[in-house]
C-alpha cells in the first residue's frame, strides 16, 4: 500500500505537468492553424482586390490618355467613375476588423490594415473630387468654350467686313496701319491652314490682336476687337485651368488605384504561412517593410522604423523550441522518476513516513505584464456594482482641487477618472493624492493622459505608465485624452493617427489592457477616421440633453462605452465633468474584468 501511494505521489505532479504542457501545445497549434486559415482567406480576398484595382487603374489610364484638353465639354467620366465607385462600395474596412480580428495580434497587422483602408478612403475622396469638379464646374466649361468660339467667329466676320470695307476707301494713317496689321494676321492664319484648335486660335489670333491694340490704340476698331479678344483670352484661361485641375485629380486617382493594386498583391503574397504551426508575423513584418518605402527610397505608406523583418518570427521560433524543451524535460523527469522508484523500491518502502501535515503552496500572484494582476474570483468592490441599473462617474484634475472631500455618498458615484499626466513630462499635482484615496472610498478609479502632438508618442506612453504604476484588477483601463487642445502645431490627420496608434499599442502591450480613447465627435470625424480606432473603447464628449450621445463615424457600429454628458456638474462649490457608462452594473463589472477587451 505504501509503495503504491509513494509511486502515485511521485508520478502525479509530473503527469499533470505533461498533460498541461501537451494541452497548451495543442491549443496553440489549433490557434496557429485557425490563424493560417484566416490568413489564407485574407490572401484570397486581397488577390481579388488587387486584380480589380489593377483593372480600374488600366481603364482609368486609358480614358485619361484619350482625353483631349479643350474638348472636355461633353466629358462625364461616368463609366469609369461608376465602376470604381461600385468596387469601393463593396469594400467594408470596418467589417474586416471583425472578420480578421485574430490577425490583429500579428506585429504590423494594424498598420497594414490601416494603410490599406487609408488607400481605399483616399480613392473614395479622389473619385468624389472628380465628380464634384465635373458636376459643379463643367457647365462653366461648356459656357466658356461656346463664348470663346463665338467671339472668334465675330473677329473672323470683322476680318471679312474690313476686307470689303477698305476697298476704294481713304482711311486716316492710324486706321490704315491698324487695318493692314489686322488683315495680315488673319491672312497668315489662313495660310497656316486656318486651324480651329483653341490653342492655335489663341496664339495666332487672340494674342496678336491684344498686342496690336496695345501698340496702336485710339482707332475706331481697337476697342471693339480688344473686348472680344479679351473675352476669348479669359475663356481659354478658364478652360485651361479646368483641364489642368481635372488631369491633376485624375493622375492622383490613377496613382491611388496603382498603389492599392500593388499593396494588395504584396499582402496577398505574404498571406499564406509556410506551415500550419508557424506564425506568419515575420511575413507580415517583411511585407510592411517593403510597402513602407517607395522606389525613390522616401516614406510611402507605413511607418517601419520600429520593425525588423523576420525578427518576430525568429523569436517565436526560439520560443517554440523552448516549449518543446520544457515538454521534453518533463517527460524525461517522468521516466527518470518511474525508473528510480522501480530500481529503489525497497529503499522507498522503508523510508521515513511523510509528516501528517504538509504546508500548502502559496497562491500564485505573478503577473505576465506590467500593470496586470490575477483577477480574484470574488471582489467585494465590483460585486456591489452588479445590481445597479445606472453607472455614473466623474473625471477630475488639479482644477477641481479637494473635490473628493465633498463626496459623502450622496452623489451615488461608481467611478472617478483622474488626470495623471500630460505630454512627456507633466504630472498632475493632485493625481497621487486622488489615486491613493479612491479605493478607500469604495470607488473604481481610472487614470488618463492628455496627449500632446508635439511630443513623441512612445515617450508620452512610458511617462504615463511610469506615473500610474501597476493597475489593480478593479482599476479601469488606461485612458488617452485627445482633443483640440492637444494640437499645438499644424498636423495632418494621417500623421496624427499613426502616432496615436503607436501610443495606444505601446500602452496595450505593456499593461495587457486595451486603452480607452477620450475625444469629441467633431475631433474624431476630423482626425480619427481609420476603422482601427474602433478597437479601442470610446469615451465620447457630447454635452447635450439627448438620451444618447452622437457617435463619431469610426465607432458607428461599436458605439461608446462612456459618455461625458455634462461639463458643469456642481458638487458644492466645485464644477466638474459628469460621465455615464453605457450599460448597467453587471455590464460595467464585465468591462472591468475583460480589461477593456
Tell me, rounded to whole angstroms, the distance of Cα 236 from its chain centroid: 42
In the annotation, is 483 catalytic? yes
Instruction: Identify the sign of the CA torsion 168, 170, 173, 175.
Output: negative
Q: Which long-range contacts (CB under 8 A, 24 or more apart) does 102-106 make?
A: 102/31, 102/34, 102/35, 102/38, 103/35, 103/38, 103/39, 103/42, 104/535, 106/279, 106/280, 106/281, 106/284
- Dist. CA 38–CA 43, nearest whole Å: 9
Write the DSSP assignment of 87-133 as a string of letters.
HHHT--HHHHHHHTGGGGGSTTHHHHHHHHHHHHHHHHHHHHHHHHH
What is d(CA 141, CA 470) in angstroms, rounded to the nearest whole number?
A: 65
Q: Under a CB-based contact definition with an 8 Å cutoff, are residues 198 and 224 in contact?
A: no
84, 60 in Cβ contact below 8 A? yes
Q: Kindly report the CA angle at 191 between 188 and 195, in degrees rounded to 5?
A: 90
| Gap between the Cα atoms of 298 and 292, Å rounded | 9
Residue 4 cell numbers, joined: 503504491
Burial classification of residue 380, based on how many CB atoms lie within 10 Å of its CB (0-12 exposed, 13-18 middle, 19 or more buried): exposed
C-alpha cell at 182: 489686322
Write the Ramachandran bin of 116: left for phi over 0, alpha for psi from -120 to 50, otherwise beta.
alpha
**C-alpha to C-alpha distance for 42 and 268, rounded to whole angstroms:** 7
Q: Which of 483, 510, 553, 566 is catalytic?
A: 483
Closest to 328 (Cα-Cα) out of 13, 9, 22: 22
With 0-12 / 13-18 / 19 or more C-beta atoms within 10 angstroms meaning exposed / middle / buried, residue 250 is buried
CB contact at 8 A, 510 and 370: yes
* Active site amino acids: 483
Amino acid at each position: 500500500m505504501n509503495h503504491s501511494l509513494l509511486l502515485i505521489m511521485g508520478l502525479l505532479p509530473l503527469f499533470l505537468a505533461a498533460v498541461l504542457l501537451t494541452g497548451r501545445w495543442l491549443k496553440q497549434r489549433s490557434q496557429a492553424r485557425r490563424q493560417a486559415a484566416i490568413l489564407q482567406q485574407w490572401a484570397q480576398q486581397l488577390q481579388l482586390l488587387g486584380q480589380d484595382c489593377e483593372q480600374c487603374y488600366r481603364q482609368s489610364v486609358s480614358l485619361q490618355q484619350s482625353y483631349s484638353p479643350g474638348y472636355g465639354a461633353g466629358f462625364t467620366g461616368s463609366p469609369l467613375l461608376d465602376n470604381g465607385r461600385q468596387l469601393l462600395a463593396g469594400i467594408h474596412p470596418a467589417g474586416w476588423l471583425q472578420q480578421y480580428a485574430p490577425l490583429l495580434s500579428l506585429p504590423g497587422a494594424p498598420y497594414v490594415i490601416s494603410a490599406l483602408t487609408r488607400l481605399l478612403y483616399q480613392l473614395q475622396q479622389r473619385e468624389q473630387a472628380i465628380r464634384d469638379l465635373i458636376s459643379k464646374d463643367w457647365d462653366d466649361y461648356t459656357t466658356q468654350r461656346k463664348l470663346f468660339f463665338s467671339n472668334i467667329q465675330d473677329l473672323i466676320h470683322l476680318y471679312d467686313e474690313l476686307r470689303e470695307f477698305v476697298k476704294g476707301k481713304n482711311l486716316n494713317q492710324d486706321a490704315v496701319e491698324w487695318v493692314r496689321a489686322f488683315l495680315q494676321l488673319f491672312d497668315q492664319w489662313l495660310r497656316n491652314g486656318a486651324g480651329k484648335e483653341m490653342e492655335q486660335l489663341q496664339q495666332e489670333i487672340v494674342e496678336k490682336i491684344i498686342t496690336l491694340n496695345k501698340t496702336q490704340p485710339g482707332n475706331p476698331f481697337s476697342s471693339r476687337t480688344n473686348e472680344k479678344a479679351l473675352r476669348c483670352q479669359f475663356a481659354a484661361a478658364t478652360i485651361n485651368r479646368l483641364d489642368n485641375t481635372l488631369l491633376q485629380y485624375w493622375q492622383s486617382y490613377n496613382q491611388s488605384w496603382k498603389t492599392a493594386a500593388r499593396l494588395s498583391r504584396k499582402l496577398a503574397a505574404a498571406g499564406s504561412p509556410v506551415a500550419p504551426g508557424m506564425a506568419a508575423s515575420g511575413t507580415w513584418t517583411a511585407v510592411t517593410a517593403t510597402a513602407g518605402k517607395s522606389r525613390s527610397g522616401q516614406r510611402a505608406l507605413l511607418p517601419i522604423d520600429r520593425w525588423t523583418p523576420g525578427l518576430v518570427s525568429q523569436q517565436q521560433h526560439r520560443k517554440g523550441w523552448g516549449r518543446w524543451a520544457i515538454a521534453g524535460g518533463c517527460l524525461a523527469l517522468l521516466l527518470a522518476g518511474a525508473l528510480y522508484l522501480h530500481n529503489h523500491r525497497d529503499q522507498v518502502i522503508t523510508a521515513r513516513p511523510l509528516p501528517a501535515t504538509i504546508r500548502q503552496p502559496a497562491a500564485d500572484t505573478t503577473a505576465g505584464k506590467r500593470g496586470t494582476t490575477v483577477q480574484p474570483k470574488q471582489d467585494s468592490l465590483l460585486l456591489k456594482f452588479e445590481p445597479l441599473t445606472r453607472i455614473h462617474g466623474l473625471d477630475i484634475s488639479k482644477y477641481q482641487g479637494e473635490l473628493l472631500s465633498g463626496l459623502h455618498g450622496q452623489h451615488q458615484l461608481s467611478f472617478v477618472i483622474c488626470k495623471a499626466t500630460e505630454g512627456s513630462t507633466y504630472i498632475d499635482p493632485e493625481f497621487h493624492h486622488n489615486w491613493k484615496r479612491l479605493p478607500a472610498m469604495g470607488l473604481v478609479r481610472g487614470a488618463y493622459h492628455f496627449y500632446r502632438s508635439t511630443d513623441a508618442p512612445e515617450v508620452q506612453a512610458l511617462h504615463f505608465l511610469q506615473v500610474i504604476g501597476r493597475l489593480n484588477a478593479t482599476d479601469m483601463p488606461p485612458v488617452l485624452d485627445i482633443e483640440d487642445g492637444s494640437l499645438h502645431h499644424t498636423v495632418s490627420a494621417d500623421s496624427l493617427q499613426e502616432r496615436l496608434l503607436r501610443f495606444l499599442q505601446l500602452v496595450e502591450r505593456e499593461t495587457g489592457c486595451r486603452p480607452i480613447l477620450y475625444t469629441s465627435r467633431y475631433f474624431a470625424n476630423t482626425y480619427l477616421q481609420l476603422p482601427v480606432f474602433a478597437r479601442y473603447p470610446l469615451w465620447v464628449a457630447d454635452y447635450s440633453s439627448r438620451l444618447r450621445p452622437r457617435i463619431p463615424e469610426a465607432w458607428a457600429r461599436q458605439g461608446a462605452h462612456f459618455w461625458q454628458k455634462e461639463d458643469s456638474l456642481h458638487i458644492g462649490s466645485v464644477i466638474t465633468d459628469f460621465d455615464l457608462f453605457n450599460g448597467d452594473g453587471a455590464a460595467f463589472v464585465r468591462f472591468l474584468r475583460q480589461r477593456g477587451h
